[in-house]
Amino acid sequence: MSIKPITPNEIQDEKNLTIPDYIIESVNEILVKKWSGTEQKASFTQDELMELVLSKNPSKTREQIFEDRDFDFEDFYRKLGWNVYYNKGQYYDTFPPYFVFRKETKE
């Protein structure tokens, strides 16, 4: 057998390779825009990111982006030294889903 099954340890690295460039470009751009040096964090809503993503790639729809799991980029940024938090709340919450990025701190 020349092709081997993917291992659980390999799956996230393979997934990270499938994140489209326009997603990474959009996340990077919004991180720079929203970065607070005093709070050492950047926070933004999922809708803010979606608006930016769609402006960079108008051929995609919201539905396609969610279906393709293009917003599953958190682990990619964690491996690069970010603490990434995503909160979409519960069904009864009224706030929009949001991301918070902080520099990873070594304690």
Sorted by where each begins, the domain ranges of the chain are 8-103
The CATH class of 8-103 is mainly alpha
Count of CB atoms situated within 10 Å of the CB of 30: 21
pLDDT over 70, % of the chain: 98
Q: Is the model's pLDDT at 21 over the cut of 90?
A: yes
Backbone angles phi, psi at 22, to 5 degrees: -65, -25
Count of CB atoms situated within 10 Å of the CB of 6: 10
Q: Please say whether the beta carbons of 29 and 52 come within 8 A.
A: yes
pLDDT band at 94 (very low <50, low <70, confident <90, very high): confident
What mean pLDDT comes out for the span 47-66? 95
Give the per-residue pLDDT at 38.
86
pTM metric for this prediction: 0.85
Cα 59 to chain centroid, rounded: 20
Backbone angles phi, psi at 78, to 5 degrees: -60, -40
How many angstroms separate the CA atoms of 18 and 84, rounded? Answer: 19
pLDDT band at 9 (very low <50, low <70, confident <90, very high): confident
> What letter would DSSP give residue 56?
H
Q: Please say whether the beta carbons of 84 and 74 come within 8 A.
A: yes
